[in-house]
Amino acid sequence: MDAHLETLSALLDGGPIEIPALEAALADTDARRGLVDFVRLRQLAREDIAMPTSNFAERVERAVGRSRAFARLRVPLPLAAAAVVLALLGGALIDMKSLLPQREQEQTAQVPPPQPSRVLQFDAPGR
């Protein structure tokens, strides 16, 4: 059945078909109903001349116009490169702790470790 419908669809599309396959498809009553459905769908598609409303066309034109305006505001390459360099330098300046490890050592040396709350001792067996 599917092969018959594919053959009839290829016939309507103008594709190459084999004559024995066409004869077998036309002999099948379900395939003939499928052919009628294919023709009916094609006619409906040709008759459908749905046009967008003028309101829709105006909204699309405004949206496209806005995106064109943004496209005209392109940033020159040297200016973009300078912005990237400034961002990298700013990030490096903010993270001064990683650049100056001496400060971290001074801070850890000033804070003593906490006192233990209990001491565990383990005896080795056989001693």
For 123, the 3-state DSSP assignment is: coil
Q: Residue 12's closest CA among 26, 30, 28?
A: 26
- Quick: pLDDT tens for 19-59: 998 889 889 888 889 889 988 988 888 887 777 788 888 88
d(CA 40, CA 46): 10
d(CA 88, CA 90): 5
- Quick: pLDDT tens for 59-79: 888 877 766 655 666 778 888
